[in-house]
Amino acid sequence: MSHEFLDDRRRAMEEAFFAKQDAELIRRMQKGAAPDTQKESLSAASGITDPALLEKLVGLGLNSNSLAALSLVPLVAVAWADGSIDEKERAALLSAAADSGLDRSGTAYQLLTGWLANRPSPQLVETWADYIKATSAGLGEDARRALKLSLLGRARRVAEAAGGFLGLASKVSPAEEAVLARLEQAFAH
């Protein structure tokens, strides 16, 4: 065999090896950059700059396209307070989603329907509370109060949707009242 042939073969093997290494490095960089890119776009969409909160939001599967679903977390939490979602609560939640302008084919709506199908983890409400604290900190007292009344009012309407038994019992169960009280704590400064 000629020396030239062996040199060519060696170079080809080295190039293949380094091409594979480069491809793996690029894949890892893209994979590693994805969460940072998600956090940057989520920060731009929400105005949130706290890296820990952005990490939690990304960890829950939220991105700038699904951020609108976060405003419905209190409604979802109240609907699941009794351990299951009643059809009237589901209808009230979907109506609130439509009123919020959620596109039925969008990411936020898909996230919401996932939360309706499977009870989300308690971490979702904790992250929502962190989100509210971060976003309402920059608001004036009147704007913070309006946000609180709007969000908690919508959550209460979902709680009342199932109603009491034959109209005799309270429309809001003790479990739902407890969730509403926890949600209200997010607005305390």
Choose among 100, 65, 80: nearest CA to 158: 80
pLDDT in tens, 157-173: 999 887 755 455 568 88
Mean per-residue pLDDT of the chain: 79
The answer as to whether 45 is a domain residue is: no
Residue 98's pLDDT is what? Answer: 87
The answer as to whether 165 is a domain residue is: yes
Residue 17's pLDDT is what? Answer: 57
Does position 26 have pLDDT exceeding 50, yes or no? no
Q: pTM surpassing 0.75?
A: no
Question: Could you tell me which residue, 23 or 63, shows the higher pLDDT?
Answer: 63
The answer as to whether 27 is a domain residue is: no
Choose among 177, 156, 174, 173: nearest CA to 165: 173
Residue 22's pLDDT is what? Answer: 45
Choose among 161, 167, 24: nearest CA to 94: 161
The answer as to whether 67 is a domain residue is: yes
Residue 32's pLDDT is what? Answer: 47
Does position 108 have pLDDT exceeding 50, yes or no? yes
The answer as to whether 31 is a domain residue is: no
The answer as to whether 84 is a domain residue is: yes
Domain limits for position 122: 51-185
Does position 24 have pLDDT exceeding 60, yes or no? no
Measure the N-to-C terminal CA separation of the chain; round to a whole number of Å. 81
Residue 61's pLDDT is what? Answer: 72
Q: What is the number of domains present in the chain?
A: 1
44 φ/ψ sector (left φ>0, alpha ψ -120 to 50, else beta): alpha
Residue 48 pLDDT grade (very low, low, confident, very high; cuts 50, 70, 90): confident
Question: Could you tell me which residue, 79 or 21, shows the higher pLDDT?
Answer: 79
Residue 180's pLDDT is what? Answer: 94
Residue 103's pLDDT is what? Answer: 86
Residue 78's pLDDT is what? Answer: 94
Residue 166's pLDDT is what? Answer: 46
Buried/exposed code over 95-129 (b: 16+ C-beta within 10 A; e: otherwise): ebbeebebeeeebbbbbbbebbeeebeeebbebbb
Residue 25 pLDDT grade (very low, low, confident, very high; cuts 50, 70, 90): very low
The answer as to whether 111 is a domain residue is: yes
The answer as to whether 42 is a domain residue is: no
Choose among 74, 77, 70: nearest CA to 108: 70
Residue 6's pLDDT is what? Answer: 62
